[in-house]
Amino acid sequence: MIPSGNNVQRLSKTALGKHLAWGALIALILVSVFLAGVRNPAPEWPRFWMLRPLIVVPVAGALGGFFYFITGSWRRAGGWKSIVGYMAGILLYMVVLWLGSVLGLAGTLWH
């Protein structure tokens, strides 16, 4: 049985939400581990300097999860397209996460 148009859209929104949430969660865990290693922040940093990376990096992770979601049709295609889909999705996620880390940590840990 083929689902109607509303069901297909709902499934797509659910899958997109899961990809966004997982992308943001992975990014939040990575930046939290990274920030946990800071024992003595520099005195010239703002008082709540850690809030910027804790907000910016998970948003970038969610964007990376969106790009991974977009490559889903390639991943499901099978054969060489599946390999390209996985590689492109992971590479896009890592690039967006790196750019978000640079943006979130600029002026503090990223000089």
* Residue 9 in this model has a pLDDT that exceeds 50: no
Residue 14 lies in a domain: no
Residue 35 lies in a domain: no
Residue 88 lies in a domain: yes
Average of per-residue pLDDT values in the chain:
88
User: pTM value?
Assistant: 0.85
Grouping H, G, I as helix, E, B as strand and the rest as coil, residue 106 is: strand
Q: Which residue has the higher pLDDT, 19 or 6?
A: 19
Contacts of 89 (CB under 8 A, 6+ apart): 67, 68, 70, 71, 72, 74, 75
Residue 104 lies in a domain: yes
Residue 13 lies in a domain: no
Rounded to an integer, the average pLDDT of 56-68 is 97
* Residue 1 in this model has a pLDDT that exceeds 50: no
pLDDT at site 39 = 87
